[in-house]
């Protein structure tokens, strides 16, 4: 059983996802949602939850024991700098090219890393500068 089973995040009303489907499929979703006594959004979230969990579960060690962990539970943070650093630490394969360069900039500067790992406050305080440096590096060294 994954760490995310049974957990539901509470969606912010401002978070939206546009989905293009035919009018007939939209009507079918509305009918099914009505039949089940739920919303179309809830119906779709229920349908994609298992594939999300299966595709985004990692094995990590906690106290010498291997446990399954759902990457979004481990990484998500409302602050972009913290979220990118946590993703780099837990699942770097999911970083975009720009995020990989941002992570390099952070790792290469002792002001942002210590013996205990990343210095989140220092990274947040200099986030715009870090992003600008990473963007410049990417432009300069991309083919």
The continuous run of DSSP H or E covering 137 comes out as helix 127-141
Helix segments in 1-113, DSSP class H: 23-36, 40-55, 71-75, 80-90, 97-108
pLDDT digits (tens, 9 = 90+) for 9-36: 566 666 888 889 999 999 999 999 999 9
Residue indicated by tokens 């293009």: 20
Least confident of 13-22, 25-34, 49-58, 79-88: 13-22
Least confident of 54-63, 80-89, 128-137: 54-63
What are the CA-CA distances from residue 115 to residues 61, 105, 131 (Å)? Answer: 20, 17, 23
For residue 69, how far is the Cα from the chain centroid? 13
Structural domain boundaries in the chain: 1-73, 77-141
Q: Name the token pair of 70.
A: 């759902």
């Amino acid at each position: 059983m994954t760490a995310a089973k049974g957990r539901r995040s509470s969606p912010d009303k401002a978070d939206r996802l546009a989905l293009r489907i035919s009018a007939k499929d939209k009507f079918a979703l509305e009918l099914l949602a009505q039949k089940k006594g739920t919303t179309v959004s809830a119906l779709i979230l229920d349908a994609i939850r298992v594939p999300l969990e299966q595709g985004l579960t990692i094995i990590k060690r906690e106290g010498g024991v291997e446990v399954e962990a759902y990457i979004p539970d481990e990484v998500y943070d409302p602050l972009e700098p913290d979220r990118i650093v946590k993703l780099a630490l837990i699942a770097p394969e999911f970083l975009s090219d720009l995020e990989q360069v941002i992570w390099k900039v952070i790792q290469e500067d002792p002001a942002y890393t210590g013996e205990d790992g990343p210095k989140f406050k220092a990274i947040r305080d200099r986030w715009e500068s870090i992003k600008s440096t990473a963007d410049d590096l990417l432009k300069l060294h991309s083919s």
